[in-house]
Structure 1
Amino acid sequence: MSWTKKTLVLLPIAAAAVVAAIWWSGELPSDLNPQQTRPTLVIAEHRTARLQALYQLQPKLEAELGVRLKIVEYPAPPQDYFTKLVTELRAGNAPDVFTVPRDLQVDDLAAAGYLANLTADVQAWPGYQQLPALVKTLTRASFDEQVYVVPSIVAVEQLYYRHDLLTAAGISTEQPKDWQDLLNRSRQIKQQMGQFPLMIPAGLTWGMGSYTEGFRYLLASFQDYQLLSTGNQYQLNDDAVRQAFGFYQTLVQEQLTPVNPLLNPEPWVIPKYEMFPKGELLITTCGSWCKVFDWGPGSRNPIANVDTSVQTWKFPSADGGEPFALASVVYAWAVNAKSRQQQLARQLVLALGEVDVALAYAVKLGNVPARLDAKEHPDFIALDSLMQDHALLTETRALRTTVGSNAMMAGVAQASEAVLTGRANALQAQQQLHDYVVNVLGAEMVEQQLAKTLPLPAALATEVEKN
């Protein structure tokens, strides 16, 4: 299947935006002052921590490149940022340089013609050889294998659990080896502590997070499953999808997860910011940012001694494989394909991929530098406990997506909501996901060959198979 620069419908969970070609006209100097006669590059940034990092780096970047950076502040929430970015790309008002919030949004933007092809620039950049193989893969669009973004920081995602409380209750904190082990541990927590043991995000109001922070973990639990077929189609008929919904179904039916908060307008607030700090929820999926933003000293409801009180497990496998951590390339830098300052913009995104820049962002955001040579930088020690997450980069997993990823994620949100509310069992939820994606993207984007149905793992079978 060949995707070229064409108009597409981007489908954020909250709103759709039509993609079209755009360009940015650079700012003209107002006088002949040497500082103001430097070429101007317009760069978009958002969120307080990210803005602080960029303003801190601005003098250095301007001096290195001989440019003036005009920083445009965008809305803070990631979905609002992305919606405004697409709107301005569509209207022709977008900056020269901007970030793509998550790697799974690269395909839509690249296929629409928004992003400059950076393949030659990146491959000639010394930093490229310092990127783990998985990170390199996530910078490329699946439909043409060309590079469209320069990675700076990576989110490493695992299970986070209350080590202090489980230890006090005499419950094992050993790494769960598979789904059954995790479910048995959850059942023990519920029985002994009387609290909800485990949350994996799901439902409509969590939006794209129902996939990125939830369903993605379950799909990645299968050693041989990939979300995309060799023909670049979504593999939604695979039995791994049914079993993933079966895991949700078990959590709901055995009351191992808090359902009502997941149906709220902001479903992350009660479980992550209230229940987990209070010890009313013991295990949740989360990422390297969580000990900073979710439970760190400056968070809404900080956990005392968070680095020791909260620890991590890799996510256990479903089929006998090794437990794993996930990786997401977050806020990678891209060049507006219609920027009038192409050469300078390309130089800027490569400069933004350097280790000192990545460290400035990583420390403030709780993520890790994308480059492996970051560990040789004298400031690397400032990452503190995040250095352990950085060490996992060479062994992390990810699931590639293709054009229409927002439709796929919207389908996951809807189907998982049906499981949460008891309106669908695992097989019905799988069918709902399949039908939604076909209706939005067309049957040609979904692999239609039915996979052989495999028995559910013993830990899931009892209740799921009844329904």
Structure 2
Amino acid sequence: MRSRVVAAVAAAVIAGSGLSACSSGSDSGSGTITLLEYQQARADVAKKLIPKFEAAMAAKGKHVKVKLVTDQLTDAQFKTKITQEFHSGTAPDVIDTGGNQMTGLAGAGYLLELDDYLNKWSGWSSYYPSAKAPAKQSDGHYYSLPHEASVQSIFYRKDVLQKLGVSTAQPTTWAELIARLKSVTAKTGKPSIVIPGGTAWGDGSWSEGFLPIVGGTGSTFYDKSSGKWKLNSAGLTATFNLYYELKKDGLLPVQDLLNPNPWEPTKYVAFKKGTLPVSAQGTWGWRYDWGPDGAAPIAGVQDKVATWNYPALVSGTKPYSISGGGFAYGVNAKSANADAAVALSEWLSSGTALAQQLTTTGAASPRSGISGLAPYKNEPTLLDAEHKLKTSILPPQGDGSDQVSQAVQRATESILDGKANGTQAAASFAKNAADLLGPDLVAK
């Protein structure tokens, strides 16, 4: 979801000549370890925090040196590069990346199992269940430590809607929201909402667009106990029908969604101008999209932009927000200084160190005890997201998510380009996803 932002970030100076996990010293909690950050903002804050960590360890009689290694990489580039480095034995001791990247790395045996460390760490008990659950892998173990969380909601330009005389109250159902969107479009002559869809948006069509909607329908999509996907359900059909209704009524910016880099004319231009006043979005939007240092800064963003929970789509459900994974620390399974590597991960995920990182990256805290610490305590939008995190819905994800994402992209594109209605798209999705997943991952 943030790969488009990372690509535009300037590279930092590479510290050290390589990324070897074979650091000096033995696993006594001392020695030299390497930390890899591949986003500039994260590297900048880590650079400031590392000396404080080293001093804290020295006070405990542990002599730890941390080499910060940074690079200019998109999420996809990072995945390719770090896999190669793990395979060749040159990966760093600690990596910082999205939680969705950890599943494959853990499954390949590259990451250290952290259960024993976390069970002994006092901070682990303060994590919210919705932040812990996604970090647990299918084998029941933890191989990463989340240090941020996101909440996906419906963002809207309250200044624009108020000017147009359209209600900004929480919509209870999608029917209620669609009525408002039709009112906006009738008054402006333009589309009124952007929800990622189609192939041009890539994985965002799945993780930022489709998944948050289907996740609240109450239908089983992914069964974690069996590790299989249910590809036909009332919730799936309802979600594809929603895309079709929004497209049919002229509420979606169809041509922009079909063109390359669809987030640019929609979120970066039209939402900023207020001509496309409603957008599916996650917590990261406060910084990376519309914050002062974002791709499309909105002056006074916290006064002009607000959020709704997702409205209910299926009868019997209620408005909700979706818990989204954030970045997490993973420790190289072959680290010569695993104790020090884990200590760094835990320290960075605690106290003022965590508060500074969350404010820098525009993320919600995955644990309690941080909301009263500066500078995080001065970020009302992040505090609100953390509050929602406590009751948000966990999205259905598991082994095969990449394949399901591809099928969702193609099916929603068939709606956007006029080749299918919602029911037809649901049927083509089920067939395509089954072919991509294979019989072992599909529920009968």
Q: When the two structures are superposed, what TM-score results if normalisation uses the length of structure 1?
A: 0.84
Q: Residue in 2 aligned with 1:441?
A: 437
Q: Which residue of structure 1 aligns with residue 75 of structure 2?
A: 78
Are residue 162 (structure 1) and residue 121 (structure 2) matched? no
In structure 1, distance between residues paired with 2:105 and 2:55: 31
| Counterparts in 2 of 1:57 and 1:217: CA distance versus 1, 3 Å | same
2:386 counterpart of 1:394: no
Q: Tell whether the 8 Å contact from 2:113 to 2:143 is kept in structure 1 after alignment.
A: yes
Picking from 305, 312, 315, the partner of 1:310 is: 305
Q: 1:189 to 1:227 in 2, by over 3 A?
A: farther
Task: Give the alignment of 1:394-433 within 5 angstroms.
Answer: 394-433=390-429
Query: Which residue, 311, 317, 321 being the options, matches 1:321?
Result: 317
Q: Between 318-327 and 147-156, report the one with greater CA deviation.
A: 318-327
Give 1:15-414 correspondences, 5 Å limit.
24-28=20-24, 39-65=31-57, 66-101=63-98, 103-141=99-137, 143-228=138-223, 230-319=225-314, 320-414=316-410
Q: Secondary structure at the match of 1:390?
A: helix
For 1:81, what is the secondary structure of its paired residue? helix
- Give 1:99 deviation, angstroms: 2.1
* In 1: Cα distance, 2:361 partner to 2:331 partner: 22
1:394 deviates by 0.8
Cα deviation for residue 430 of structure 1 reads 2.5
Cα deviations across residues 369-415 of structure 1 (Å, max 9, x unaligned)?
21111124354323243222222221111224222222222222222
Cα deviation, residue 250, structure 1: 1.1
In the TM superposition, what is the alpha-carbon distance from 1:133 to its structure 2 partner? 1.2
With over 3 angstroms needed to count, the CA separation of the structure-2 counterparts of 1:229 and 1:155, relative to structure 1, is closer
How far is 1:229 from its partner? 5.5
**Which stretch shows the higher mean deviation, 337-346 or 358-367?**
337-346
Deviation at 1:105, TM superposition (A): 3.4
CA distance in 2, matches of 1:52, 1:382: 20
Sequence identity of aligned pairs in percent?
A: 29
| Runs of 4 or more above 6 Å deviation | none
Count of matched residue pairs? 417
- 1:402-437 deviation per Cα after TM superposition (whole angstroms, max 9, x unaligned): 222222222222222122112233233233333333
Change (3 A) 1:300 1:113: closer
SS in 2 for 1:391: helix
Q: Could you say what the CA RMSD is over the residues aligned between the two structures, in angstroms?
A: 2.0
- Alpha-carbon contact 2:359-2:376 (below 8 Å) kept: no
**1:50: Cα distance to partner?**
0.7
Instruction: Tell me the equivalent position of 1:464.
Output: none
User: 8 Å contact 1:227–1:399 — kept in the other structure?
Assistant: no
Indicate the larger mover: 291-300 or 239-248: 291-300
TM-score (norm 2): 0.89
Deviations 1:312-340 (A, max 9, x none): 11111112322111122211111112222
Question: Following TM superposition, by how much is the alpha carbon of 1:299 offset from its aligned partner in structure 2, in angstroms?
Answer: 3.1
Distance in 2 between residues matched to 1:278 and 1:378, nearest whole Å: 32
CA–CA distance in 2 between the matches of 1:324 and 1:441?
Answer: 29
Query: Matched residues in 2 for 1:251 and 1:364: separation?
Result: 35
Tell whether the 8 Å contact from 1:108 to 1:402 is kept in structure 2 after alignment. Answer: no
Range with greater deviation from structure 2 (299-308 or 431-440) = 431-440
Change (3 A) 1:427 1:188: same
Answer yes or no: is the 8 Å Cα contact 2:216–2:393 preserved in 1: no
Task: Write the distance in 1 (CA, Å) between the matches of 2:219 and 2:427.
Answer: 21
Alpha-carbon spacing, 1:92–1:413, altered in 2? closer, same or farther (3 Å): farther
Tell me, what secondary structure is at the counterpart of 2:207? helix
The unaligned stretches of length 5 or more in structure 2 are 4-18, 58-62
